[in-house]
Amino acid sequence: MPGLSVVQSYRQLDNSNRVQEKPPEELIFLLLQKACSCVRRAVLLVEAENAEPQKDLDKRIRNIEEYGLSSSKTLQIITALIEMIDYDKGGELGADLKSTYEIIRSAAWKAFQNKNLTDLRKVLEALSELKEAWEQIKG
């Protein structure tokens, strides 16, 4: 359907324009909000798996896919946050922020690989604290 692809293209362009209009502080806040949401979803999936292992193969596959998507999206977001740092404006604070993001990314990678609930919750807590800080910065 050619009409549908035009509508989808328009939506993508519209979304792209909206992102470009937002200040960097708000974009960082939104990225951290999404990362927290992804980690929270991963925690719920691991808790559900631990409580009652899925016998239905299709549902189990969907849960594995969702977990993989949540973990990869989180890692992509943290990597994007590292790439967004403006060292010219941030100076030493930028370097400290990069170090913080890298520590969180490393911890997230290990927690996702091992499906470790304790470590996933620590990652969520760290991301939530950063999100709250950026929320104050954005005003």
Q: What is the pLDDT of residue 103?
A: 98
Residue 47 has pLDDT above 50, yes or no: yes
Tell me if 58 is assigned to some domain: yes
Read off the pLDDT of residues 79-103 as tens digits, 9 standing for 90 and up: 999 999 988 888 899 999 999 999 9
In a domain, 119, yes or no: yes
Into how many domains does the chain fold? 1
Q: What is the span of the domain harbouring residue 118?
A: 23-138
pLDDT computed for residue 6 by the predictor: 52
Q: Are the beta carbons of 105 and 78 closer than 8 angstroms?
A: yes
Give the domain CATH number at 51.
1.20.120.340
